[in-house]
Structure 1
């Protein structure tokens, strides 16, 4: 495992020590979450733009399909 230096304000470090937090685990989780978020953002950016269909129109179409197929 690679060792990294992470700089935090003194008061935050003191509070983390007082709370007996596993700062390494928290840092790993935060980095993993940020990587997942940016990957999701990148994926969303590849999707086509919405076509301007309103929620109400979508719900009407769904209701019509249910009525047509007896669901």
Structure 2
């Protein structure tokens, strides 16, 4: 399960951001957990432009890339 502070990849849009909270939605009488994510402005940057919330199943852990010299 993704935790607050983890980086997440939205499987439909390809956007990456940092998880900052949880929420919920009720769809067709079913209670679904959502993730609230600060989405990066551009890939590879740490600046955030907006927030996005979607059901938990549309997010997956983002692989972080570290540069080596």
Indicate the TM-score class for this superposition, using the shorter chain for normalisation.
under 0.3
| TM-score, structure 1 as length reference | 0.19
Q: Which structure is higher in strand share? A: 2
Q: Which structure is higher in helix share? A: 1
| TM-score, structure 2 as length reference | 0.19
